[in-house]
Structure 1
Amino acid sequence: MLTTGNQLKAARALIGMEQQEVAVVAGVHVNTIRSMEAAGAAPIAGRAQNVQAVQRALEAAGIEFLNHGSPGVRLRSAR
Structure 2
Amino acid sequence: MSIEKLSKLRQTVSTRQIKAARALLGWSQADLARYSSVSEPTIARLEAEDGPLRGRPGTAAKILKALTDAGTEFMLENGSGPGVRLVRGRQRPE
Q: Shorter-chain-normalised TM-score: which range? A: 0.7 to 0.9
Q: Which has the higher contact order (CA 8 A, sep 6+)?
A: 1
Does residue 18 of structure 1 match 2:28? Answer: yes
Which structure 2 residue ranges, 5 or more long, are not aligned? 1-8
Please report how far the alpha carbon of residue 36 of structure 1 lies from its aligned counterpart in structure 2 after TM superposition: 1.7
Say which one has the larger Rg: 2
Please report how far the alpha carbon of residue 77 of structure 1 lies from its aligned counterpart in structure 2 after TM superposition: 2.5
TM-score normalised to structure 2 length: 0.74
Query: How many residue pairs were aligned?
Result: 78
Local SS of the residue matching 2:54: coil
Instruction: Please list every run of at least 4 consecutive aligned residues from structure 1 whose deviation after the TM superposition is greater than 6 angstroms.
Output: none
TM-score normalised to structure 1 length: 0.87
Could you say which structure has the higher strand fraction? 1
Q: Among all aligned residue pairs of Structure 1 and Structure 2, give the percentage whose two residues are the same amino acid.
A: 38
